[in-house]
Amino acid sequence: MYRAKENAEKESKCIRGGIGETHMTKILNGPDEMYGKGRLFNIMTVDPGNSIGEHFHTGDNEIFYFLSGTGVYNDNGTEVRVRPGDTAVCSDGEKHSIRNDGSEPLVFVALILY
C-alpha cells in the first residue's frame, strides 16, 4: 500500500471533552489497515490553548511520540511537561490527557494498539 500525503484522510474535532478542536491526519485508516492490531495511527495537532480531555483506555493502549511544540501530559493524575522527542504511554486501564500550554502547535504521533 502507498498513500500520498495529499490523499491522507483529515479530520478536526473536540476529543474526549477537551478544549477546542484537535486536527488529525490519518496515517492508517482504522483496524482494517492495521490488520486488526489497533484502531488509530494518526498525526495529531493540538493548537495553543487547546486540549484532549482526560479519558481511560480499556482493552487497548495509546502511545504518543512528540514531534514539535510543548505541552502538559496528564499521566494518571501526574502532570509532566512534554517536548519533541518525548514518548508517553497510556496502558490498558490507565487514564491520560494532553494540553497545549505553549505558543506553537503541539504535534505528535498517536498510536492505539489492542
Q: What is the pLDDT of residue 86?
A: 98
Structural domains for the chain: 9-113 (2.60.120.10)
Distance between CA atoms of residues 94 and 61, nearest Å? 8
Grid cell locating 96: 491520560
Looking at residue 4, what is its pLDDT?
96
In this prediction, residue 20 carries a pLDDT of: 98
3-state secondary structure the chain: CCCCHHHCCEEEECCCCCCCCEEEEEEECHHHHCCCCEEEEEEEEECCCCEEEEEECCCCEEEEEEEECCEEEEECCEEEEECCCCEEEECCCCEEEEECCCCCCEEEEEEEEC
Residue 112: predicted pLDDT: 98
pLDDT tens for each residue of 36-59: 999 999 999 999 999 999 999 999
The pTM score is 0.96
The residue ranges of the chain whose pLDDT is under 50 are none
